[in-house]
């Protein structure tokens, strides 16, 4: 498959400057990013790379980090994770509180904010130094020691994070947060602030296209069964109340973040990351979704 030719075609056909959408501004530091950034990077399971645009410029991966947090929590807590968080799509926005009250503080899934807060609570219980150990895990699967938090973004969200603060207190009231809420929130905001480029993100997520094995060494980081389940959750829950739309248009498991990044995984084949900061009203990158839709349409292949 001529992936570079296909990416070139996508670049010509997706003019992010003309597409609608707004850069996220509820995290003040993110509002400073130029709306017209656009990059895409595809990483195959045999280590081939194809790209265009600003694919090597770092951005805030935000909710994409929820997949990495879940992966680490599963390594420590195993199947017990599912006693504290569900596996059903929410059909609600990423930061919604409404289901929590009906469902007694058990978040619908780990890829919405409420679920990720519970996952971070699990990690705070297990890790001696959560931020350092989280970073160590991410660097390992990224095979890159330069991956880091963006402190400015984390602190900017912490200062304005009233919605997440309300949410974690509600979950705590139901007994599903065991640690101090400010400690868990601080850790959560830092996990969201991890910076990666499309190249680094695609490289990191090739693990999920490769049955949980690092492509260079073959080291099994996540079991085949867990990798299957994480991909299933990305498919059904990775885009909140737009998960159906993403499946319908793109047909790959994926995860978005309010930094404008989207990563998608084609098991046995490749992972692909795209970045364009203008978001639609559901919080997903407008140009990113279109670029991925073109990718699976032009290649004529998706998991469906
Ligand atoms: O907690 C938040 O609101 C952000 N740190 C992450 C949200 C996010 O990325 C939703 N994605 N589309």
Q: Which of 145, 176, 192 is the last residue before a domain boundary?
A: 192
Decide whether any atom of ligand 1 lies within 6 Å of the 113 Cβ: yes
Q: Indicate if 118 and 187 belong to the same structural domain.
A: yes
Q: Indicate if 26 and 120 belong to the same structural domain.
A: no
Kindly report, residue by residue over 83-119, the tens digit of the pLDDT.
Answer: 999 999 998 888 899 999 999 999 999 999 999 999 9
Residue ID of nearest Cα to ligand 1 atom 12: 257
pLDDT of res. 259: 98
The owner of tokens 């364009």 is 276
Q: Indicate if 58 and 117 belong to the same structural domain.
A: no
Asked if the structure places residue 127 within a domain, the reply is yes
Q: Which domain holds residue 105?
A: 63-192
User: Measuring CA to CA, which residue among 261, 292, 267 is closest to residue 55?
Assistant: 261
- Report the atom number in ligand 1 closest to the C-alpha of 62: 9
Q: Indicate if 42 and 125 belong to the same structural domain.
A: no
Decide whether any atom of ligand 1 lies within 6 Å of the 157 Cβ: yes
Query: Alpha-carbon distance 31 to 33, whole Å?
Result: 6
Best substitution site from 63, 67, 165 to test ligand 1's pocket, by max atoms within 8 Å of Cβ?
Answer: 63
The mean pLDDT value for 162-179 works out to 97
Q: In sequence order, which residues have a C-beta less than 8 Å from that of residue 174 and are 6 or more positions away? A: 100, 104, 105, 106
Residue ID of nearest Cα to ligand 1 atom 11: 257
The mean pLDDT value for 10-28 works out to 95
Decide whether any atom of ligand 1 lies within 6 Å of the 256 Cβ: yes
Q: Indicate if 125 and 206 belong to the same structural domain.
A: no
pLDDT of res. 126: 98
Asked if the structure places residue 249 within a domain, the reply is yes
pLDDT of res. 157: 96
Kindly report, residue by residue over 184-209, the tens digit of the pLDDT.
Answer: 999 999 999 999 999 999 999 999 99
Decide whether any atom of ligand 1 lies within 6 Å of the 35 Cβ: no
Q: Which of 141, 162, 192 is the last residue before a domain boundary?
A: 192
Question: Per the structure, how many domains does the chain have?
Answer: 2
Asked if the structure places residue 304 within a domain, the reply is no
Query: Alpha-carbon distance 143 to 214, whole Å?
Result: 9
- Whichever domain contains 44, its CATH number is 3.40.710.10
The mean pLDDT value for 234-241 works out to 95
Asked if the structure places residue 31 within a domain, the reply is yes
Entry pTM? 0.98
């Amino acid at each position: 498959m001529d992936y570079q030719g296909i990416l070139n075609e996508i670049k010509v056909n997706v003019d992010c400057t003309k597409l609608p959408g707004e850069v996220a501004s509820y995290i003040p530091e993110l509002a400073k990013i130029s709306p017209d950034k656009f990059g895409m990077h595809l990483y195959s399971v045999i280590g081939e790379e194809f790209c265009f645009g600003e694919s090597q410029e770092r951005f805030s991966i935000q909710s994409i980090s929820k997949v990495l947090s879940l992966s680490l929590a599963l390594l420590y807590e195993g199947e017990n994770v599912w006693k504290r968080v569900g596996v059903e799509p929410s059909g609600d926005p990423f930061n919604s509180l409404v289901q929590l009250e009906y469902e007694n503080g058990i978040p619908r899934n780990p890829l919405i904010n409420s679920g990720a807060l519970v996952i971070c609570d699990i990690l705070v219980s297990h890790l001696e130094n959560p931020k350092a150990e989280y970073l160590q895990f991410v660097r390992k699967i990224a095979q890159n020691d330069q991956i880091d938090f963006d402190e400015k973004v984390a602190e900017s969200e912490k200062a304005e994070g009233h919605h997440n603060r309300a949410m974690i207190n509600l979950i705590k009231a139901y007994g599903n947060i065991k640690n101090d809420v400010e400690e868990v929130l601080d850790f959560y905001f830092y996990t969201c602030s991890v910076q990666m480029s499309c190249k680094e993100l695609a490289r990191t997520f090739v693990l999920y296209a490769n049955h949980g094995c690092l492509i260079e060494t073959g080291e099994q980081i996540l079991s085949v069964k867990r990798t299957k389940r994480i991909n299933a959750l990305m498919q059904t829950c990775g885009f909140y109340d737009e998960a159906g739309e993403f499946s319908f248009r793109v047909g790959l498991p994926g995860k978005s973040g309010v930094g404008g990044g989207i990563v998608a995984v084609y098991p046995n084949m490749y992972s692909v990351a795209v970045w364009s900061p203008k978001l639609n009203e559901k919080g997903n990158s407008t140009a990113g979704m279109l670029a991925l839709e073109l990718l699976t349409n032009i290649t004529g292949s998706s998991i469906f």
